Structure 1
Amino acid sequence: MRSSTLSADSSFMRELKRLLQALTSVADADSLVSLINDMHHFIRMTNNMPVSDAVIAKPELMPQLTFLAEKVLRLSEGNNQADTLVRSARLLGSLQLTAPDSPRRWRELQFGYKLLYRAALTLRLLEHALEHKLLTDNTLLHHYTARRFADDTCPFRVNVQLPLIIAVMLLDCGQLDIDAITLLTGYAGQYDANRSMQHQERQRYLATSKVAMARLLDEALQLVPYRGNSKREQQLHQLQQQNNIKFIKQLLSQSINSDGPLAPLLSLPQVYSSIVLPGRDRYQYEALPKASLLLKDGVNRGQFPANWVQQLINIVGIFPQGYGIAFIPTQHDSGYAEKYELAIVNQLYPAKLAEPLCRIVSRNLQYRRGGHNCQVSLAHNLYFKPARDRLSVIPTARLKEILMQLSADWEPGQIRRFLPRCWQPQQFFSQSTHQNLWNQAPNPITYAKTKY
């Protein structure tokens, strides 16, 4: 059973890596990044000349967008709702645990990791919004009520989910225009892509990207030719594509202009992913649980509707998927143990927003496989002050023993500072034997009540 589980986890990671390559590899002429670059180049070359005189062929972007969107759905969607939530949590967590932080890999991060993160989260936000009537569009509701899992011909999949993912893929396409890249990294790549721009510089960058995006959408969102002999099927194929392209343009327009009922559907996951994944010079892993506060600040500034923000937080909780939790386990006598253990957030929809659903990955601060799932209460989570205060009363000798297992360079005068609010599990997750965080495990247990 364990070998089959590990094989499934390894298969998922291989598929994820292949998809990231298909999205971001500049060496692959058919990757999303390459095709968008080629489309920008084509538009510049043909801007003032007839297409027939163009010296390069027009890239066929739409078929590849559809192909890649299908790949995303195969990673995020399951055979039923429960399976879909597990697969989405695994995708989000894996992206968090493997995202690069090098400024030189900004294309890979922006058009691979963040794109997939946004796609998965947007899919979950869409169905949540339809389920809770945040969206009342009759066409969307009709497709949603007729949804069939694991069916490639399902109208909800074909007419809603696929165009939604394509819209996510195109949301930042203007950033690959040469003028936008020059503003971001400089003519010779001398600027840090993760730096904070001055206000005027950032406004110019956003305006340049927006103009380039509009030009690309006019060229890229074209009907894919029908292949077959049935005239009726051809008409249906054309009508379906026209409706999907209209939906894609509607999604992008409302998101960019922050206006319309669909606007939060793309913009909220876009902002959330920018907070919880690397790519900003202000990125601090320890501060990631404050993402919900930043989104609520957006409500106060009129950037997002309050009900949409709350529903997104209901999905993800306070702690992002893949986040490293340090917690105090409970002893057999129901007291608090004089130690802490490690866990990783691995499930969506926590019953209590500040109590993450996790997989335990250590015992006596030694990494382990096949741990239990758990729900970590505030009183046990070292991210919160009450738990840290409780652990800080541990006798110094015992705390030294704990910290010697954690770090080789600690100093006796800094013991209290070594009490972790969280831990970074990227190195742990890099080993394939530790990637089975989403396989079947005993039901969640709450460490305020359960013996350890």
Structure 2
Amino acid sequence: MLNDSLLERAIHYFESNEFVESNSTTTAETDTLEKLEKIERHNHLQSICCEIIELAEGETLRESNRKTARLLGTIQLISPTEGNKVAVSNEQCKMLYKAILSLRLLDRLLLDNELKDPYILKVLAEFGGKSFAELDEIEHRRFTELVKMPLLMAALLQNIGHHHPEAKVILYGEDGKKNHFRILDITDRRQLLKINYKETLSYISNAIGVLKYTGNSKELRDQFVIDEQLKHQFIKKLIKSSFKAEQGIGNLLKVPQIYVSIILSTKETYNYKVLPQVFQVLNKNAELGSCSQKVVDALYKITGMFPQGYGIVYMPEDEMGHLGDCYEYAIVNRLYPENPENPLCRIATRHLTFIGYGHNITVRKSNNLYFPMMAKKIATLSKERLNEILELLSSNYHERQQLDLLPRCWHAGEYFSVKTNQKLWNKEENRSFIVP
């Protein structure tokens, strides 16, 4: 019996087919079993994508953005940001995070009329010249089936070839004891890239394939066959283009992949404090031609500088606009900040006391301790006052010993683990404030 996860199914397939000759003969019973397993793998992948759609898509674009912010923020907040479990946890979450981002990036590029892919334009042409934003519920459902579902499948399968035995030898070594999170030398990286490209496409064609129609209507069957073939071709096109994205449709996968490689890094150099520098890496990749600057800019518009769930430390102002003598905590909880450097947040503390149900605010750059100019201002506070603040905002003496007197950010996972604090994304949007 197959294990139930997407990766376990892929590993089982790769290991079962590693030593099968391409011209070897099979029995009718074996062929039937392989066909059933193929259908099961496809249905399982499709069910995962349907679940992601349910979690990340709403009836309106605004609702989709709210649900996506909640999903991405939750992933960040349940992921350890320190200790020896960071890499393992981040590896488990990367595929889902990337897939969710690809959906919102698709929306943004469609709204900006920046996608010229023939297949997507062909699907939109079915709706009588309507733009993506004008689709009704039925039309949007068909667009989701024909475009968003295969996009999610491609996002989830993009690096499935890493689980092929040949790739695992590179990652884990012949004896299986090497740290697969280590930085590979250039020869191994190139070889791994080749294996992943070949085996990912092979898995999509031979292990997932195209669904067969099971009804009795010839008309419905003919349309079903056409749709499934085109979706399958689109998945492979997305995968192929993502390996050499440049300006092509593969940027829907490539740009989120680079973003996630920083936000949920598995490298020993992972540092929570510098996650907001992710767009420096993306802009550099665009400058070098490995991805599209327009797509990077679109993602920046969506996420802003600070990732969802990131712990913001800011200095509030009094009614006269003067900075106080303390700092407070907030958590990034919404997409599409008006200014990418001014994150949309939910406050987590008020008057140096943790609260379970704060209001939404916009934290300006001029109040955010992440930025050096603001950090210099708080440095004027006395060491005694900084210690006093730290004592109020930390749970125990040991934690205080580990924290910076002048924090650039805060690790919000422990706060969020308390049930009463898990109200960051209430459906009825509270009034938003600029940092008070």
TM-score by length of 2: 0.88
| Number of aligned positions between the proteins | 418
Q: How far 1:256 sits from its partner (Å)? A: 1.6
Q: Give 1:42's aligned amino acid.
A: S
**What SS does the aligned partner of 2:257 have?**
helix
Counterpart position of 1:442: 430
Alignment of 1:247-258 (within 5 A): 247-258=234-245
> C-alpha displacement at 1:29, in angstroms?
1.7
Aligned positions of 1:289-368 closer than 5 A = 289-368=276-355
Instruction: Output one character per residue of 1:369-394: Cα deviation in whole Å (capped at 9) or x when no partner.
Output: 11011110111100012221211112
Change (3 A) 1:179 1:54: farther
* Matching residue of 1:287: 274
- Residues 23-72 of structure 1: per-residue CA shift (max 9 Å, x gap): xxxx9723211211122123324334234389694232212111111011
Match of 1:42 in 2: 16
Structure 2 CA distance for aligned equivalents of residues 106 and 50 of structure 1: 43
AA at the equivalent of 2:75: L
Once the two structures are superposed, the pairs formed by residues 50-449 of structure 1 within 5 Å of their partners are 50-52=25-27, 57-58=33-34, 59-60=37-38, 61-99=41-79, 109-110=90-91, 112-137=92-117, 138-142=121-125, 144=132, 147-149=135-137, 154-258=141-245, 261-406=248-393, 408=397, 418-439=405-426, 440-447=428-435
Greater mean deviation of Cα atoms: 135-144 or 355-364: 135-144
1:329–1:340: 8 Å Cα contact kept in structure 2? yes
TM-score, with length taken from structure 1? 0.85
Partner of 1:36, secondary structure, is helix
Give, as a single letter, the amino acid of the residue that structure 2 aligns with 1:114.
K
- Describe the SS at the equivalent of 2:307: coil
Three-state SS of the structure 1 residue aligned to 2:309 is coil
Q: Secondary structure at the match of 1:329?
A: coil
Using a 3 Å threshold, how does the CA distance of structure 1 residues 262 and 153 change in structure 2: closer, same or farther?
closer
Separation in 1, partners of 2:383, 2:80: 37
Question: Match of 1:123, as an amino acid?
Answer: L
Task: Work out the CA distance in 1 between the residues paired with 2:340 and 2:133.
Answer: 28
Q: Does the residue aligned with 1:383 lie in a helix, a strand or coil? A: coil
Aligned CA distance change for structure 1 residues 96 and 411 (closer, same or farther; 3 Å):
closer
Q: Which residue of 2 aligns with 1:22?
A: none
Distance 2:236 2:326 in 1: 54
* Coordinate RMSD, CA, aligned: 2.6
Deviation at 1:127, TM superposition (A): 1.1
C-alpha distance in structure 1 between counterparts of 2:335 and 2:79, whole Å: 19
Residues 181-237 of structure 1 deviation map (CA, whole Å, 9 limit, x = unaligned):
222123444222222112222222222222222321220342222222222212221
- 1:113-151 CA-partner distances (Å, limit 9, x unpaired): 1111111110111111111121124225446356345x5
SS of corresponding position for 2:365: coil
Distance 1:344 1:104, change over 3 A: closer
Identity %: 30
Unaligned ranges ≥5, structure 1? 1-26
Q: Deviations over 1:85-109 (max 9, x none)?
A: 0001111111112235787896764
Indicate if the aligned counterparts of 2:354 and 2:393 stay in contact, CA closer than 8 A. no
Amino acid at match of 2:389: I
SS at match of 1:154: helix
User: Whole-Å Cα distance in 1 between the matches of residues 374 and 405 of structure 2?
Assistant: 14
Change (3 A) 1:155 1:363: same
**Residue type of the alignment partner of 1:95:** I
